[in-house]
Amino acid sequence: MSALPHQYKVSVAGKPDNTLIAQADHLPDLQVAAPSGFGGPGDQWSPEELLMAALANCLILSFRAITKASKFDWVSIECESNGTLDQVDHTIKFTQVNTKAKLIITSADDREKAKKLLHKAEDVCFISNSLSCASHFETEVIVAD
């Protein structure tokens, strides 16, 4: 890892009634629109979904780094983040985020260590740490057959 602070730059362009195009150096363009709940088409990524995707990705990448440093073997992981957007004191904001990580490992003896490492990943996830809403993290560890 390079020394902090890191900088990330994204530019977004759009016209009154079209899809927004998000761009970052060396990455493919990303089409973004309002979600259907805000009158958007519902068939493109929205800022709300991108935030949940950023959280789930950060948790998995944090877990990957922690398990590599711990020399902990695992088979696969899935992470689902579900955010509630609501109006509070005339401001629309995320009020709750629930995240569930489902991890597959090969040995039942590693179940407790796996849970500990998942929670450590949640503790160090900088996207999770940047959110001001309430959050809940649930883990499921499955031993592969």
Q: Where are the domains of the chain?
A: 1-45, 47-143
From first to last of the 145 residues of the chain, give the pLDDT tens digit: 799 999 999 999 999 888 999 999 999 999 999 999 999 999 999 999 999 999 999 999 999 999 999 999 999 999 999 999 999 999 999 999 999 999 999 999 999 999 999 999 999 999 999 999 999 999 999 999 8
Per-residue tokens: 71: 């020399």
> CB 31: neighbour CB atoms within 10 A?
12
Q: Cβ distance 134 to 96 under 8 Å? A: yes
- CATH 3.40.1640.10, domain 47-143, yes or no: no
Beta bridge partners of 80: 100
- CATH 2.20.25, domain 1-45, yes or no: yes
Residues in CB range of 125: below 8 A, 6 or more apart: 55, 58, 59, 62
Task: Count CA within 13 A, CB hemisphere, residue 130.
Answer: 9
